[in-house]
Amino acid sequence: MNSEMEALYRNKTWVLTDLPPNRKPIGNKWIYKIKYKATGEIERFKARLIAKGYSQLKVLTIMKPTLPVNKGWDLSQLDINNAFLYGELDEEVYMTLP
């Protein structure tokens, strides 16, 4: 959790402010996952802070995992430590504190 929070601060993900009148904040929650080595041993514990995205759009997965195998393509696995969407929002979004 500390690693996740440090990344959020480092990337200036939010600004701490008072909630304006007539605005409703988006909730959030922590998601925990255990990552295992190929041997079955625990490699590490992961934690992610996510917004409760009832108003967020789902991202569609276009490529099925079997496609590279069927096409004879090389396949590599990559674990992203932190992912951020760099873009402009059309509206201000308020989230409760974690």
In a domain, 62, yes or no: yes
Per-residue pLDDT of the chain (98 residues; tens, 9 = 90+): 888 888 888 888 888 899 999 998 989 999 999 999 999 999 989 888 888 865 555 544 555 667 777 788 776 766 666 666 566 777 788 889 88
In a domain, 83, yes or no: no
In the chain, the number of structural domains is 1
Total-model pTM: 0.57
In a domain, 95, yes or no: no
Domain extent, residue 22, equals 2-71
- Give pairs for 43-52: CB < 8 Å, separation 24+: 47/1, 47/3, 47/4, 48/4, 49/1, 49/4, 49/5, 49/8, 49/98, 51/26, 51/27, 51/95, 52/26, 52/27, 52/28
